[in-house]
Amino acid sequence: LSPDCSFTCHYRCRALVQLDCSGPPGAGDEDDGNEQVLEKDTNVDEPSEWEKAELDQAQVEQRIKEYNSQINSNLFMSLNKDGSYTGFIKVQLKLVRPVSVPAAKRVPSLQAGRPHPQGVKRRTSFYLPKGTVKHLHILSHTRASEVIDALLRKFTVIDNPRKFALFERSEKDEQVYLRKLGDDEQPLRLRLLAGPSEKVLSFILKENETGEVNWDAFSLPELHNFLLILQREEEEHVRRLRHRYARCRQKMQEAL
């Protein structure tokens, strides 16, 4: 159990976890609550006008110069000889379900000096801490689906990539908007068009909630975990409802 982010895992899995939990306690809780209120549904299939812009080689070069002049770090974009360009994107992971990682243990033989020829394949599930962020160095033609694959590899997640989706987040008129990126959209191109401002554009990895959930794609341990999560969510929802009605009842009694 981490004292900073309350991340919990099995003691034998600690060596597999490579996360930065140095943030102050509860740093992201308030922001999450505000964002939940402000988020609005948008047309997930319709990019904004500036995202549809087509740039020629000279415009790309000029945009890269402007982008690099506006950032306060060494995460620059660079133009390649073939006309493509490379750069960094930052992705925040906001997952509410546990993810699965592999854990292979060799089983010792009952006879001394004769190791078992095969390993026992195991998988364990755990929650990624709130506010987990990862920087990726990608190409201009790197697709959103490839970004998802790269993120899963970084955290050694073995879940099906189709369970996840990459979203763009933007703020406008004190509202927060989310749009799911298509598999073939190019995040670095969007980053270049939007500029370095995180309010104008940022990337979030979330569960893919569109359509019916294919529960057959989940393993038995994952399904058991989901049942536990649903039970806890239901109990918390009931507790809040009872508390709200108790408050209303108390106010009425005080008025009487």
Query: Sign of torsion, CA 60 62 63 68?
Result: positive
* pLDDT higher than 70, residue 16: no
* pLDDT higher than 80, residue 220: yes
* pLDDT higher than 60, residue 129: yes
Q: At what angle do helices 57-70 and 187-194 cross, to 10 degrees?
A: 70
Least confident of 132-136, 214-218, 237-241: 214-218
> Which of 48, 80, 24 is CA-nearest to residue 171?
48
Least confident of 70-84, 113-127, 221-235: 113-127
CA–CA gap between residue 39 and residue 36 (Å, rounded): 6
**67 CB neighbour count, 10 Å cutoff:** 19
Specify the pLDDT at position 77: 96
Taking a C-beta distance cutoff of 8 angstroms, is the pair 40, 153 a contact? no
CA–CA gap between residue 8 and residue 205 (Å, rounded): 21
**What average pLDDT does the segment 143-170 reach?**
92
Taking a C-beta distance cutoff of 8 angstroms, is the pair 181, 167 a contact? yes
Specify the pLDDT at position 52: 64
The residues, ordered by sequence, that sit 6+ positions from 6 with a Cβ below 8 Å of its Cβ are: 25, 129
19 — pLDDT class (breaks 50, 70, 90): low
The residues, ordered by sequence, that sit 6+ positions from 190 with a Cβ below 8 Å of its Cβ are: 51, 168, 181, 201
* pLDDT higher than 70, residue 252: yes
Specify the pLDDT at position 30: 43
Specify the pLDDT at position 206: 92
**What average pLDDT does the segment 9-21 reach?**
60
Q: Say if residue 84 is exposed, middle or buried (CB neighbours under 10 Å; 0-12, 13-18, 19+).
A: middle
Torsions phi, psi for 98 (to 5 deg): -70, 155
Cα distance between the two ends of the chain: 48
Span 39-101+121-212 CATH architecture: Roll (3.10)
CA–CA gap between residue 5 and residue 18 (Å, rounded): 14
CA–CA gap between residue 101 and residue 158 (Å, rounded): 6
Cα dihedral 59, 194, 92, 121 in deg (nearest 10): -30
Specify the pLDDT at position 112: 44
Least confident of 22-31, 41-50, 61-70, 182-191: 22-31
10 — pLDDT class (breaks 50, 70, 90): low
Specify the pLDDT at position 113: 46
Q: Say if residue 22 is exposed, middle or buried (CB neighbours under 10 Å; 0-12, 13-18, 19+).
A: exposed
Least confident of 30-44, 142-156, 202-216, 240-254: 30-44
How does pLDDT run across 33-81, given as a tens digit for each residue? 445 444 444 444 455 655 667 788 899 999 999 999 998 888 999 999 9
Percentage of residues in the chain having pLDDT higher than 70: 70
Specify the pLDDT at position 177: 87
DSSP letter at 16? G
Encoded tokens for 9? 């895992």
**What average pLDDT does the segment 183-206 reach?**
93
